[in-house]
Amino acid sequence: MLYTVVGIHFKQAFLKIITWNCNGALRNKFKHLLDFDADICVIQECENPLETKHTEYKNWAENHIWIGDTKNKGIGIFAKKGIELDKKNWTDVYRDLRVKHFLPCRVNNDFDLLAVWTHSNKSPTFGYIGQLWKYLQIHKPKLRKSLILGDFNSNVCWDKLDRWWNHSDVVKELEEIGIKSLYHHYWNEKQGEESQPTFFLHRKIEKPYHIDYIFGSLDFQNGVKKMEVGALEKWIVVSDHLPIVCEFET
């Protein structure tokens, strides 16, 4: 029997999605994700499955799309068999300059998913969250029914008064089209006051930050069944980031 999850047809009554910065070498780490049994995994800093000699990793990544500057480090969307990922050819050029990294796709011809791994991009002013701000100036109208998730490398604690492309500005721009952070929606916490970090600088417990996010439009906000951040003791040994896992009900 098929069930419908925010307009998607699956053989279960929910959709489970993960975002995780694996800190490289996903071929040696993807098995850590198997217990989640996620429908879609959005992974930052992973290698291109089509250019690996690791057979198990290539088989696990059978249904995927990927982009990156080199074959060893990019961003990928990995889905279970039967889930259609249609990569969108949206431009990543803003005023003659490329922004990165952004990977948009259509899922089962129902909603758009934008995978994010913001980059400094050698920009003295528009690094990281500034890259996402620029991307939104190009594509914001297209994202009204979507999930936007990944490593933003950003938090409201780094806002600067003389900017108009701060983390808070990006959050506001997304809210203007009905898209909100599902972590903050689920846990009823304010931006910048997150009780659960997702990143530990140099894997040092005393340097925690919340810089990974899942944003969603109203259908996803209303459908959140469960959200969790991966356990520190399990994930810190394989990456400086913890995964965020979100389940959606019918």
Map residue 247 onto helix, strand or coil: strand
Residue 3 has pLDDT above 80, yes or no: no
Residue 59 CA to residue 77 CA, distance in Å, equals 14
pLDDT of residue 250: 59
Residue 11 CA to residue 207 CA, distance in Å, equals 41
pLDDT (average), residues 18-29:
98
Q: What is the DSSP letter of 202?
A: G
Split at pLDDT 50, 70, 90, the class of 7 is very low
Pick 245 or 4 by higher pLDDT.
Answer: 245
Respond yes or no on whether the N-terminal peptide bond of residue 139 is cis (omega within 30° of 0). no
Pick 5 or 23 by higher pLDDT.
Answer: 23
Decide: residue 115, CB within 10 A, 0-12 exposed, 13-18 middle, 19+ buried.
Answer: buried
Q: Measured in Å, how far apart are the chain's first and last C-alpha atoms?
A: 14
Residue 159 has pLDDT above 80, yes or no: yes
Residue 9 has pLDDT above 60, yes or no: no
The model's pLDDT over 116-148, given as tens digits with 9 standing for 90+, comes to: 999 999 998 999 999 999 999 999 999 999 999
pLDDT (average), residues 181-198:
98
Residue 224 CA to residue 250 CA, distance in Å, equals 9
CATH architecture of 3-249: 4-Layer Sandwich (3.60)
Q: In the chain, what are the domain boundaries?
A: 3-249
pLDDT (average), residues 171-200:
98
Share of residues in the chain with pLDDT > 70 (%): 94
Cα distances from 56 to residues 2, 28, 29, 52, 67, in angstroms, run 30, 9, 11, 10, 20
Split at pLDDT 50, 70, 90, the class of 10 is very low
10 Å Cβ neighbour count for 222?
12
pLDDT of residue 65: 98
pLDDT of residue 14: 83
The model's pLDDT over 201-235, given as tens digits with 9 standing for 90+, comes to: 999 999 999 999 999 999 999 999 999 999 999 99
The model's pLDDT over 49-82, given as tens digits with 9 standing for 90+, comes to: 999 999 999 999 999 999 999 999 999 999 999 9
pTM of the model: 0.94
Cα distances from 84 to residues 62, 80, 113, in angstroms, run 12, 9, 12
pLDDT of residue 13: 59
pLDDT (average), residues 187-193:
97
pLDDT (average), residues 158-182:
96
10 Å Cβ neighbour count for 28?
13
